[in-house]
Structure 1
Amino acid sequence: MDNLTAARSTMAFSLGFHIIFAAIGMVMPFLMCAAHYLHLKGRAGPYLELTKMWMRGVAILFAVGAVSGTVLSFELGLLWPEFMEHAGPIIGMPFSWEGTAFFVEAVMIGLFLYGWDRMKPWVHWGTGLGVGISGFLSGIFVVAANSWMNSPAGFDWVDGKAENVDPVAAMFNDAWLHQSIHMQVAAVQAVGFAVGGVHAFLYLRGRARELNLKAMKIAMLFGAAAAIVQPMVGHFSGEQVAKLQPAKLAAIEGLFETQTYAPLTLGGIPDEETRTMDWGIEIPGALSILAHLDPSAEVIGLDQYPEEDWPPVLIVHVAFQVMVGLGMLMALLGLLYFWFLKKRSFPRWFLWALAGSTPLGMLAIEAGWVVTEVGRQPWIIYEVLRTSEGVTPVPGMVWHFLLFLVLYLGLAGVTVWLFGRQIRVTQRQVEEGSP
């Protein structure tokens, strides 16, 4: 494994690990607040127990997310010093705002954890809501920094250096809006399905049935709504990618030749040597509609770029297909959820389907980040600085990759054990009627 591959692998694994906990950290506080709200409104049911169970989970996952996020910030300087030399002054503002949001989130979670019976009930509830809002803002600021890498703005590139830096224009670049919306909706969708699926499974196993049924309903209200909205958000993102990164869109669809009435391909395996798409099902004109709202519009293909500037077409295409496929499946389950909620009855087969869908949203997030990051290659700053030019010249990066791999796998194991323990303790207390 060469230095560049090791550095990219380290960053990819770290980001792939952190994004799961970041998504949970953004959304779980809102689920917690929903349960707490129902308790304060006097609704019948074990909403207080549910609030405290989710509160402990938020605390655990906040700690893990803080650790993995901090490691990522160090890795930027450790692995990509050339990138940070140029990008640091430009995208410092969203990172500083993210740090501020993280500080507020930490304060709010402390107030919520230790504010029971020490604060007025609705003030205490407000601190929990503050955890969610600050966490959500933190995610938006980080995505804004990443979107700048896909659509660099706010500077002039002169003789290999950035001049006339405008940090506001850099932060609010052309890609920040669609990337932020897409990621935040995906987080709500993924966490809603993950939490709903876990509680559906526990309900089917006969554990604390009332608590788990109500928990599943709260989580799926968020997850199902986000899953139904996400295809429209995805369409908006597709239009923006077509405008800002046409090479990425071409790789996503395996479109090797520029053409009008460009087809949208379902499935398929792109062959870069023959420049063909094998085994796919083409929908004529659908890609032109997705990109330009016109079936006859021309869509730029990979033939407009030298091959050394192509993204890895196979990886990007397959990741996109996985993301869209899982997203459409969750949208269908979301529609079914609202149908059965209206009928006030959930068939066992549907609850088992929800239980089986527990990891789908997280897998879709991972696939989406592969599309975003790998689809930008070979650029670390799109069409400005190549990834190979941003990597550290210091050898031995493979040892960093192996170290972080072992540490993160261990951290993941401990986190799963702690989270499972909290769920089991709460389930047992509810079943035994303990406070």
Structure 2
Amino acid sequence: MDNFLAARSQMALSLGFHIIYACIGMVMPFFMAVAHYRWLKTKDIAHKNIAKAWSKGVAIFFATGAVSGTMLSFELGLLWPNFMKHAGPIFGMPFSLEGTAFFIEAIALGFFLYGWERLNPYFHWFTGVVVGISGLASGILVVAANSWMNSPAGFDYVNGQYLNIDPMKAMFNEAWFSEALHMTIAAFASTGFAVAGVHALMIVRRQNVHFHQQAFKIAAGFAAVAALLQPIAGDIAAKSVAKRQPAKLAAMEAYFHTKPYSPLVLGGIPDVKTQEVHYGLEIPGLLSFLVYDDFKTPVEALDQIPVENQPPVAITHYSFQVMVGLGMFMMLISVLYLIAIWFKKHWIYSNWLLKLFIIAVPTGFIAVEAGWMVTEIGRQPWIIQGVMRTADAVTPMPGIAWSFYLFTGIYISLSIVVVFLLYRQILMVPKLYDKPQDNLTLSQA
């Protein structure tokens, strides 16, 4: 394995693990705060116990997210020194602000975890809200840094020099809003379905039914709303990509030939050599409509882009199809859940609907990973779109393959520990109950 492949593999591995920890860390505090608020309003002890149980999960993911995020910051300097040499002074502001948000989150989480029976109840609840807001801010700030790589701004590039640097313009580049919105909603959908699915499994198994029903309703509510909002965010993001990164959009759609009534391709196997898509379903004009709001205007295809500037088509296309397909699946479950809430209340805890949520436990995170692959692989061969190539940013230091193997071991070990801690936490749920009547049967609930 050469240095370039090892460096890219290590970043892909690190980001692939960290993005899951980050999504959960951004969103779970809001679930926790809602449960806590319901406890304050209803005095239903189950909601207090849910807030306590979820707060332990938040603490686990805060710790693992801090570890993996710190490793990522070191990796940027270790693996991509040429990139950081020029880019660091430009897009460093969101990373600095993210550090501030991280410290606020840590302090607020400490107040929340150790504030039970010690703080004013509503101030205690507010500290949980602060954990959520600061965690969400951290995620958005990191995405702002990544969006700068896709839409560089805040500097003039003259004769290989980066001049007239404006960190604010760099942070609030053209892509930051669409990427931040898309990623935030994805975090709520993926975490919501994962948490709801776990509690649905416990309901199906008839374990601590009332506790898990209340937890399920909170998580499923967040998941359903987020999944139904995601197509709007996705449309905004796709229009932004079409404007700034036409090569990425063309690879996402495996769109080889520019023509009017540009088709949207569903599925299919791209063949780069023949520039065709086999076994795909083409819907004429739909890509033109999604990009330009009319069916005729041609969308720029790969034939308009030099081959050396084209991203890998197949993996970008497959990743995009996986993301969209799983997103549609989560939307279907969301529609069924909302129908159950509004019109068919006897559906809510029916086995078939609960099992759909159980099936959906990993789907959101798979979609997130696929979407991140579209974002990063679709930008290639650039590390800074149109300015610096990834191959020019990699470190000349030998032995990066060994670093990749070491970090792989660390992340796998970290994930095993996380799974063990979460599993133990789920098993400890029965011990959280303060009242015997909280442990109802399904028929009683």
> TM range, normalised to the smaller chain?
over 0.9
Secondary structure of the structure 2 residue equivalent to 1:102 = helix
**Which amino acid in 2 is paired with 1:322?**
V
Match in the other structure for 1:14: 14
Residues in 2 aligned to 1:427 and 1:192: alpha-carbon distance in whole angstroms? 22
1:420 aligns with 2:434: no
What is the CA-CA distance between 1:2 and the residue it aligns to?
1.1
Among 378, 383, 402, the alignment partner of 1:380 is 383
What is the CA-CA distance between 1:431 and the residue it aligns to?
9.4
**Which amino acid in 2 is paired with 1:411?**
L
Contact 2:148 2:173 in 1 (8 A): yes
Q: What aligned pairs does 1:31-430 form with structure 2 within 5 A after superposition?
A: 31-44=31-44, 46-342=46-342, 343-345=344-346, 346=348, 347-430=350-433
Residues in 2 aligned to 1:356 and 1:371: alpha-carbon distance in whole angstroms? 24
Where do 5+ consecutive residues of structure 1 fail to align? Answer: none
Match in the other structure for 2:443: none
Residues in 1 aligned to 2:330 and 2:78: alpha-carbon distance in whole angstroms? 38
Secondary structure of the structure 1 residue equivalent to 2:165 = coil
Secondary structure of the structure 1 residue equivalent to 2:282 = strand
Residues in 2 aligned to 1:256 and 1:354: alpha-carbon distance in whole angstroms? 38
- Bigger mean CA deviation after superposition, 135-144 or 339-348: 339-348
Contact 1:208 1:430 in 2 (8 A): no
Cα distance per residue 1:392-423 (max 9 Å; x no partner): 00111111111011111011001110111111
1:26 aligns with 2:29: no
What is the CA-CA distance between 1:433 and the residue it aligns to?
3.7
Residues in 2 aligned to 1:270 and 1:37: alpha-carbon distance in whole angstroms? 51
What is the CA-CA distance between 1:44 and the residue it aligns to?
3.3
Residues in 2 aligned to 1:187 and 1:359: alpha-carbon distance in whole angstroms? 13
What is the CA-CA distance between 1:43 and the residue it aligns to?
4.8
Q: CA 1:234/1:78 → structure 2, altered by over 3 Å: closer, same or farther?
A: same
Q: TM-score, normalised by structure 2?
A: 0.96
What is the CA-CA distance between 1:428 and the residue it aligns to?
4.2
Runs of 4+ with >6 A deviation? none
Cα distance per residue 1:32-62 (max 9 Å; x no partner): 0010000000253511111100011111110
Residues in 2 aligned to 1:248 and 1:96: alpha-carbon distance in whole angstroms? 29
Residues in 1 aligned to 2:81 and 2:46: alpha-carbon distance in whole angstroms? 52
Cα distance per residue 1:211-235 (max 9 Å; x no partner): 1111111001001000001011111
Residues in 2 aligned to 1:140 and 1:326: alpha-carbon distance in whole angstroms? 23
Q: What is the aligned-residue identity percentage? A: 55
Contact 2:59 2:109 in 1 (8 A): yes
Match in the other structure for 2:441: none
Residues in 2 aligned to 1:401 and 1:297: alpha-carbon distance in whole angstroms? 46
What is the CA-CA distance between 1:183 and the residue it aligns to?
0.1
What is the CA-CA distance between 1:114 and the residue it aligns to?
1.0
**Which amino acid in 2 is paired with 1:344?**
K
CA RMSD, 1 decimal:
1.3
Where do 5+ consecutive residues of structure 2 fail to align? Answer: 439-445
Secondary structure of the structure 2 residue equivalent to 1:389 = helix
Cα distance per residue 1:363-395 (max 9 Å; x no partner): 000000000000000000001000000000011
Residues in 2 aligned to 1:115 and 1:51: alpha-carbon distance in whole angstroms? 13
Secondary structure of the structure 2 residue equivalent to 1:298 = coil
Contact 2:45 2:435 in 1 (8 A): no
Q: CA 1:423/1:432 → structure 2, altered by over 3 Å: closer, same or farther?
A: farther
What is the CA-CA distance between 1:159 and the residue it aligns to?
1.7
Contact 1:269 1:277 in 2 (8 A): yes
